[in-house]
Structure 1
């Protein structure tokens, strides 16, 4: 068993034994086989590193293949202009965005930059990943900083801009061929781009106000430089090149000012004054330049006119930045801020009618206040600081581009009114779109009533009409973990339908609905893996789109491309163009009102009961201490750090045992489920929900487009899932396993460590927890498979599917063997004196919960490789003592600390390979 192929074959043989012994666990048995070879010295960690490198390559190829399949072009791409449509219809479709794409940076930067390049190159071409690119000794991972995230976001947006230019030019060229007398009046706007990287304050306090200002100035400088390059390519002597170049230089210089140290009042004043003093080089609007380019295009030759109109279209789409920007705060931050303005009414319940009356009056009576950078620098409230930053951006950086204000955990209309009050107080209400986020179970459950109440507010209706849109955000992060992926999708589409109804009922049918779906980048966060069409329709279904269309409401769909995973769609010019071309061909903003009715929405006697039952099943898991303990059994130790935002709140060693799921953010929660082998929040509950009415549910799912989409998602997750793997992790903490491992005298050299582990774990609850969870999952899975027996088999290559399952099984077995190696080493470390309230037992528990870096830090304090000696002191007087040398604990480092560190590093590389097989970064 010294090759990946041999391990896969052994795992296949072991699986056959489950026919004789149903409780036999092939994955854990394979891990024991590997562990015995490792502890006997037959193989080494270096050799396992070679196997891991091969499996890493397989994972990178799997991810590249998934991306290549999603973006595969049709055999004969259809023209963007329909054969039977007139110019006005064509203009109406393409002068509004088919999609708003938001480049966010939640912690999903799992792949290193080198790995991302490998995947992108393979996905953009036809050759598989070169095994030589996967090293058994890769360089150490670098921490993911906010600056890195911003650089990556801007690079992805730049390639997206180039791809959009190509599509804009294609639209203009098609229009020229079809409507030669009208095409020059076309103003294409097929896509808008935005980012919240550096502007998202929800759940973090590490982003200073000056960071947001510096980023926005950097983005302005970069975009102006790109406009300049595009214009120079059209005409190297164009008269607008001078103003654009000077404006880009000015913005770059000011970005440098705000990226520096502004802790000193004089430094802040100098930077602010250089930005705010009137200057012809500080370009604040592109309107005159756009008008000049379009006027020139009216009489230019066709090729030049297409190029000029393409550049003007880019300017209209992006403004003075790489795209629009999204600030984000939490509802509690807004509540804390507005209470400061309530005076004697600070104690008022913001959910009460009295609060609504008070806030309504405050919005009506608010008079804009002048602000400057000193006000911004001295403001302590996060929410108010965001509004002050918006005011400075609109006054001194870009006066044209609107700014989104996303409000997380927004569950009452008073929160939105508080945001409107601050927008008016600081003079930005005409450029800021306040967008409540519906993501929690409460928000989804009561979101319809929230929308009815909000859109009935005169102040909000007047604001929305002035802005020309109602903006909302729906997300799968918390919804996916606290409701489940399938119930979340169904609840979200129902909420979207309620939005269409509320807009129509309140006389807002003549403005746009901007619906931002932050569906994430994996099946664990809501992004559908089966096709690009499913990926777009899963969070904004055809049924929901038809609700808006039938109400006459113009829909502006918006989706997120999150972190390293989402940016892969734009990692090369070829991928970026393929991504936007496929989206343009799918036309996500359009709705087919003539499509046949989907029975899923008419047989509500079946579908609604199905939804409620799945949601209840997911809720039972979330309320269960068994599920919470299993998910948190290793803390976040199975995961690589994948972003600049912390993934969990701090806790001490004892608190790990009682860790709440709410202490772990949504992305790592979903990532842990995949690492444990079973995406509970995707699969669980489907079988149980159908069990009492299986034939009718099966018939409905088979006849419904939405039902088929649900099944495609669940099939993809189930194809990678393994309940045996979930159970295998529990056996690591089984005292009886460790007590019995050396019982027959086969591993006498491990007798001491195994006995120590057996004694340490005799009261540990994790074995029982994982067994109970596996039992619950198995019961539900049996019901799920009975449902599948009534449905058509999925269109898949069963042999390829089984090969992927074997590969994931080998990865899991190797990691289980590495964990056993770490546990054995940890309990074999000699006792050391207690220091700083950390004992040897604490260190063992740290290793068992994979707080490995902390454990190693304590061990290296207790056993330093070199201790101070007389040679370290420049004394004149000689000494014969100590006479035994000055050696420290080098052997302990070699025999214990280094193997634990190496095994943990290999385990984290396995985590990346497993995530790649799932096609997920979180």
Structure 2
């Protein structure tokens, strides 16, 4: 029981017993074996820590292997960026517009410590495995702050920029070799980058306006420094350096100004005036520099021309920042703001046609207002503040780069017109792309009508033509948890098709469609794990791309790389180059109009029914008290903190029992499903949806490229799923288990503790909840397996079984640790009620994994050291107390420290399990 091999062998033997007893649970039995060994002194927490450390290392290596495999080009894809293109103008058309916009977000997925991230990235870049010293448990991490997230985003973007430069130089060299007479007129722009770290206000109140301004100035300074370094690298005496160097210093100084405390009027005025005094060092546009570099390149030697054009391409792509920026607000914030601007006494219902007429008139009649930093500092409305901040950025930091305004939970066309009104009011209409987010079930269901109504508005059409694009955002996180990942992807796909139809119907085929698909890195949030091709096609399918192409609409695809998980693709220069090269090879902005029709979209009598049945099944889960209670049974206590937006814990002791699924964001929701052992929102419903028409659905899924893509996602998720694990968690709360554990005298030393737990849990509902959930999942899984029995084998099962066995051992170890915590807390001495917290409350805290709170209460009741005479500066001596000033050191040692250590190991197991799944949440 002290080696992983022994535990895996034992788990394998226990699995065989399910043939005799179908209800037998191998995972829970292994946890009982471990628990008995731990409580009996045969193994220690140190031994458990050694086992966890080894499994952590295997998880990190597995994570690195997944990333390496994802970025490796298949043998049948040669990867020549230029392809067989023979026409220079066609080549220019292909590469002078982005194949992809990549957005680096601050989603809370910073699960790995910096050393772990570096180890995974290094291993993914080579064929070596991570050694034990690199896998060592990281020291206690500092909280993940917004500043840390921003610095990580900027570092990832810098490596992405370097990789893009390498691709641009490669394209220029290719053009030079093929078209030597006119290659210097080639202006490659294969990728754009953006970030919303520090600009996303949806659900946040901890980001001040000055934070966004300071970050934008910091980004400007960093990018100018990188442009300067690039130019110095091949010409240290270039005359443009006389512009770039002082501009860099000016931006750095102003970034420091806005990073200070600006709560006082004088401090704000000083910082603002230094930025807005029209200093010649405040570079606001790169257009003159780009023109100078390109003009020089026309007469330069080929190698120097390539360097000049590569730098000019970087400037054209990024502007005066590390990339473009995305502000984000919630539709409700816009609604509250627009009500302040309505004519006196006028009230509108934003869902009504009257609202559209009112807002249409307001957009037409409005005249821009001047603003300054005082207006920004004193504005109380979040939405208005964002527009004023954009105006200041465009006026005083970067006059060229457009800014995206993402509107979350946007379900009414009037909301977009409200945003247009504020864009015009503050003079930024020509630089801001308003992008409604379609993610909720309601938004996806009614999104087609939304787009029809919005694009029929003359004010919006004029605005779209002015901007040169229609921008929308489709989200896979909340859609995936409320609709189910597969139905959500298919609903988003249909919405994208409706956008192409609406643009064509309203005469907007001459502008681009910018479709921002905000998926995460996990299966449950829209990242397809099978290949990079699948990853790019899952959120924006070939079918959807063809809809735009047939309408003559240029497509601008955009995806997000979310937080620590997403930044792994850019954690090293080699990874960044591999990531962008593979994306460029796959050309997500293009489509093949000659490809054979996919039967999935023509056999709608089968595929639509299949979609609706899965959606209905997933909807039943969302409405189910059983599912909600199971997911919230431990609150968020199974999860590590992974971002600056901390998940709020309820203050009431019993709040977790009543926690709604809608109180849990998509990332922690999916992360809890990973930890419980079954990605419900990916797999559940497929088997049941196919049950009545299994043969026909199986045939369609095999025949259809989209169908096979769905299967690859479901089968990958199923390979790491375990319904037995779901059921095992419920047994922790089984009063009969605890009452019977010492029944035959095998653990007499635990008799009192087990009896106390049995009595405490006699009315607890969680055992029944997990059993009902497991039963429902099992019925659906049986139907899923009947479906997959009709499908061809998808590959060797050896690796899958090894991963499942490893996850099973991790889960058994954690269940044993949780039992250790439960036994310790009920064995701790009673204490008098204080601060309205009783001993029973502390037990409930541990049972819902609010361990830090429980330990704080125990340490308040049993301090290790109590005040004594030496704490008082008295002249008179005292011989009493003669027993010293020790407090409850033994209680700390015997109860609190073991609980803390077990909880720490449990959270390390959470990281290891997330690595086996390939992402956090």
Find the aligned partners of 1:182 and 1:442 in 2 and give their Cα distance. 52
Q: Does 1:64 align with 2:64?
A: yes
Aligned match of 1:647: 647
Decide whether aligned partners of structure 1 residues 240 and 799 sit closer, same or farther in structure 2, where only a CA change above 3 A counts: same
CA contact (8 A) 1:649 1:663 kept: no
1:810 aligned onto 2:809: yes
Distance 2:658 2:80 in 1: 58
Identify the residue that residue 662 of structure 1 maps to in structure 2: 662
- d(CA) in 1 for partners of 2:628 and 2:85? 57
Q: Is residue 2:368 matched to residue 1:368? A: yes
Higher mean displacement: 786-795 or 444-453 = 786-795
CA contact (8 A) 2:156 2:567 kept: yes
**Residues 871-904 of structure 1: CA deviation (Å, up to 9, x unaligned):** 1111233444434432111111101111100000
Q: After the TM superposition, which residues 172-183 of structure 1 pair with which residues of structure 2 at under 5 Å, given as runs?
A: 172-183=172-183
Shift of 1:74: 4.4
Distance in 1, Cα, partners of 2:303 & 2:346: 63
Offset at 1:345?
Answer: 4.6
**Residue equivalent to 1:160:** 160
Partners of 1:464 and 1:906 in 2: CA distance: 54
Residue of structure 2 equivalent to 1:824: 823
Taking the aligned partners of 1:352 and 1:481, their CA distance within structure 2 comes to 29
Give the aligned partner of residue 580 of structure 1: 580
SS in 1 for 2:524: coil
- Equivalent residue, structure 2, for 1:477: 477
Q: Which residue of 2 aligns with 1:401?
A: 401
CA distance in structure 2 between the aligned counterparts of 1:454 and 1:132, rounded to whole angstroms: 57
Moved more, 877-886 or 356-365: 877-886
Whole-Å separation in 1 of the counterparts to 2:131 and 2:880: 59
Runs of 5+ unmatched residues, structure 1: none
Q: Does 1:906 align with 2:890?
A: no
Question: How much has 1:346 moved relative to structure 2?
Answer: 5.4
Whole-Å separation in 1 of the counterparts to 2:134 and 2:877: 56
Rounded to whole Å, the distance in 1 between the matches of 2:684 and 2:309 is 52
**Superimposed CA distance per residue, residues 651-685 of structure 1 (whole angstroms, 9 cap, x where no aligned partner):** 42222111100111110000100100000000000
The answer to whether residue 483 in structure 2 is matched with residue 454 in structure 1 is no
8 Å CA contact retained: 2:73, 2:79:
no
8 A contact 1:17–1:24 mirrored in 2 = yes
Q: Deviations over 1:571-618 (max 9, x none)?
A: 000000000000000000001111000000000000000000000000
- Provide the residue aligned with 1:889 in structure 2: 888
Does 2:338 align with 1:334? Answer: no
SS class of match (1:556): strand
Q: What per-residue deviation string (whole Å, max 9, x for no partner) do you get for residues 857-878 of structure 1? A: 1111111111111211112334
Please state whether the residue corresponding to 1:344 is helix, strand or coil: coil
Distance (whole Å) between structure 2 residues aligned to residue 325 and residue 397 of structure 1: 12
The answer (yes or no) to whether the contact 1:524–1:671 under 8 Å persists in 2 is: no
CA distance in 2: counterparts of 1:410 and 1:537, whole angstroms: 25
Deviation for aligned residue 1:789: 1.0
Establish whether residue 221 from structure 1 lines up as the match of residue 218 from structure 2. Answer: no
**Deviation string for 1:21-41 (max 9, x for gaps)?**
000000000000000000011
8 Å Cα contact 2:115/2:134 also seen in 1? no
Distance 1:80 1:849 in 2: 53
| Aligned match of 2:844 | 845
Q: Within the alignment, does 1:120 sit opposite 2:121 as a pair? A: yes
Cα distance between partner residues in 2 of 1:141 and 1:46: 21
Residue 693 of structure 2: aligned partner: 693
Change (3 A) 1:38 1:260: same
Name the SS of the counterpart of 2:556 in structure 1.
Answer: strand
Question: For the Cα contact (< 8 Å) 1:648–1:664, is it kept in 2?
Answer: no
Mapping of residues 341-360 of structure 1, within 5 Å: 341-345=341-345, 347-360=347-360
Distance between the aligned counterparts of 2:907 and 2:784, measured in 1? 32
Distance 2:16 2:121 in 1: 38
SS at structure 2 position matched to 1:560 = strand
- 1:870 matched to 2:869: yes
Matched residue, 2:442: 442
Q: Is the 8 A contact 2:864 2:889 kept in 1?
A: yes
Indicate whether 1:321 and 2:321 are aligned.
Answer: yes
1:74-116 deviation per Cα after TM superposition (whole angstroms, max 9, x unaligned): 4573422232431111100100000000000110000000000
1:731 aligns to what? 731
Equivalent residues of 2:115, 2:138 under 8 A apart: no
Q: CA deviation at 1:648?
A: 3.8
3-state SS, counterpart of residue 524 of structure 1: helix
Distance 1:449 1:754 in 2: 60
Q: TM-score, normalised by structure 2?
A: 0.99
**Offset at residue 203 of structure 1 (A):** 0.9
Separation of aligned partners in 2, 1:138 and 1:397: 40
Could you state the TM-score of these two structures normalised by the residue count of structure 1?
0.99
**Residue number in structure 2 paired with 1:95:** 96
Measure, in 2, the Cα distance between the counterparts of 1:308 and 1:67.
34
**Separation of aligned partners in 2, 1:400 and 1:760:** 65
Q: Answer whether contact 1:648 1:663 (CA < 8 A) is retained.
A: no
Moved more, 73-82 or 808-817: 73-82
Q: Distance in 2 between matches of 1:426 and 1:851?
A: 47
Aligned to 1:554: 554
Q: Secondary structure at the match of 1:289?
A: helix
Which residue does 2:683 correspond to in 1?
683
1:670-709 CA distances to partner (integer Å, 9 max, x unpaired)? Answer: 0100100000000000000000111110110010000000
Match of 1:860 in 2: 859
Q: Could you say what secondary structure the match of 1:428 adopts?
A: coil
Q: CA–CA distance in 1 between the matches of 2:222 and 2:85?
A: 41
The equivalent residue for 1:426 is: 426
Aligned length: 920
Match of 1:524 in 2: 524
The question of whether the paired residues in 2 share the 8 Å contact of 1:674 and 1:915 is answered with yes
The 8 Å contact of residues 470 and 511 in structure 1, kept in 2 or not, is answered as yes
Task: Provide the rounded CA distance (Å) in 1 between the counterparts of 2:907 and 2:26.
Answer: 22
8 Å CA contact retained: 1:333, 1:383: yes
Distance 1:140 1:655 in 2: 28
Quick check: 1:98–1:191 contact (8 Å CA) kept in 2? yes
The offset of 1:649, in angstroms, is 5.7
Is residue 528 of structure 2 the alignment partner of residue 543 of structure 1?
no
Cα distance, 1:399–1:539 mapped onto 2, change above 3 Å: same
Indicate the larger mover: 285-294 or 64-73.
Answer: 64-73
**Distance (whole Å) between structure 2 residues aligned to residue 518 and residue 84 of structure 1:** 32
Contact persistence 1:524–1:920 (CA under 8 A)? no
Query: Is this contact kept in 1: 2:79–2:582, CA < 8 A?
Result: no
CA pair 287-84 structure 1, distance change in 2 beyond 3 A: closer
CA distance in 1, matches of 2:585, 2:719: 30
Asked if the contact 2:85–2:91 (Cα under 8 Å) also holds between the matched residues in 1, the reply is no
